[in-house]
Structure 1
Amino acid sequence: MSDHNDQHVDNPHKSFIALVADLAAISGPDGLTLREIRDRLDERAFGLMILILAIPCLVPALYGVPQIVGIPILLLAGQMLVGRVEPWLPEAILKRRVTKAWLERMADFATKRMGWLERLSRPRLRIFAEGWAERAAAFFMILATLTIVLPMTNTVPSVALSLLSVGLIQRDGLFVAAGATVATAWATALIIVGVGFFVGAGWAVSLIARFGG
């Protein structure tokens, strides 16, 4: 069990890019365990851990990785939904080590590719980014994750997860609302496509039965 008295005190004014850069900077030659990362992030651990898991899934038509990271994202979002304060992960996962090279790549990606998110996001509409809104955001994270694990459909729900995560980290209610909108629209689109496919398949089968019999 980690010693909470030794935990880093989170600076709520520090941006998510700075947080990722800090993780790379403080890591030793062997990197950091997920427990060390969680404890370092303190009150914004949920948002940043989900963001870190979602970033690799932004690559279009990715297969394999979304199906792997989807499970811990669901675990984390589920805990947010029920109001848990500190992220819980199985001991075996907490002991897993993230290499220094991977942390440095994450910091480099965040600095070069996600700077626009940081520039656009800021504390605003906080009623949509704190308290009850965190649980609502968790629901939309779960919705996005349930679609991220589908083959070849990972980019759009990953954008939703990134917007939701950044919104919670930066206390930006506008980003949270945007992420919820993207997640809902994408899930709705997939449902419409799925229903259309099954209706179309049934129609095709009935035509074959009528004219081919």
Structure 2
Amino acid sequence: MKEITSFSTMLKNLSIPSNGITLNNFLHELGQRGILVGLAFLTVPFLFGVSIPGTSTPFGILIALVSWQLLLQRPVSIPRRFGNIQLAPAAIEKVKNKILPWIMRMERKIKPRWEFVFTSSFLRQCHIGIMMVSGVLLTAPVPVPLTNSFPAYAVLFLSLGTLERDGLLVLAGHTFFVISILYFGLIGWVGTEGITTLWASIF
């Protein structure tokens, strides 16, 4: 059986030209499993406080768009305006250095388990559908803490869980999606000012 390359190894081996790389070429560099790895990478600006300038909203749209194509079982095609986004090597290195230690620690606990999560085509479609909706949530212009983080963790855990065949990690992705929906519902109920005041009182 061919050994599956881990997410952290893919990131370590990623070679970025000195003049930068387009998003299309970046996904191509990630190889055969590049789509799911790419989805995981696109969540980074929402998770770790590091960003690639001008990419936050496009990344959310791309997560939703790519997931939609996967849901319809179509070949993934990135619109030219997004695929031609130029990623600076310094920015990518900054992101890699930030997330690699965290990813490597997490990978020590990741293992194939709960295979039933992947055997049903209905469940697989549910995983992809949740990533799509989470991508839409990432584009929502809500100036409240954690509105980006919760759906980003949902996408990260669902994509990595699928890559590593870890059903428990996929369940964690579903959990963060439910938290996202409840959190956005709470914001709709009490308003952004109410949530901001709540966070200010806690911190």
TM-score by length of 2: 0.76
CA contact (8 A) 2:114 2:168 kept: yes
The percent identity for this pair of structures is 24
- Residue 23 of structure 2 corresponds to which residue in structure 1? 34
Instruction: Please point out which of 9, 22, 29 is paired with 2:13.
Output: 22
Q: Which runs of 5+ in 2 are unaligned?
A: 192-203
Change (3 A) 1:72 1:49: same
Q: Which runs of 5+ in 1 are unaligned?
A: 1-10, 199-213
Answer with 49-58 or 134-143: which moved more.
Answer: 134-143
SS in 2 for 1:123: coil
Q: Once the 2 structures are TM-superposed, how far is the Cα of residue 13 of structure 1 from its aligned partner?
A: 1.4
CA contact (8 A) 2:65 2:132 kept: no
Q: Once the 2 structures are TM-superposed, how far is the Cα of residue 103 of structure 1 from its aligned partner?
A: 2.4
Deviations 1:60-107 (A, max 9, x none): 7x9x864332111111111111123x4310133323332222222222
Residue-pair matches, total: 182
CA contact (8 A) 1:83 1:135 kept: no
- Residue 120 of structure 1 corresponds to which residue in structure 2? 109
Instruction: Please point out which of 156, 160, 167 is paired with 2:150.
Output: 156
Deviations 1:19-58 (A, max 9, x none): 11221xx222123322222223343222111111111101
1:77-88 superposed matches below 5 A = 77-84=67-74, 86-88=75-77
- Residue 171 of structure 2 corresponds to which residue in structure 1? 177
CA contact (8 A) 2:71 2:125 kept: yes
Instruction: Please point out which of 62, 71, 74 is paired with 2:61.
Output: 71
Q: Once the 2 structures are TM-superposed, how far is the Cα of residue 192 of structure 1 from its aligned partner?
A: 4.7
CA contact (8 A) 1:144 1:187 kept: no
Q: Once the 2 structures are TM-superposed, how far is the Cα of residue 134 of structure 1 from its aligned partner?
A: 3.6
Pairwise CA RMSD: 2.6
Q: Once the 2 structures are TM-superposed, how far is the Cα of residue 140 of structure 1 from its aligned partner?
A: 0.9
Q: What CA distance in whole angstroms lies between the structure 2 residues aligned with 1:136 and 1:49? A: 19
**Higher helix proportion:** 1
1:185-204 superposed matches below 5 A = 185-194=179-188, 196-197=189-190
The answer on 1:105 being equivalent to 2:105 is: no
Amino acid at match of 1:40: E
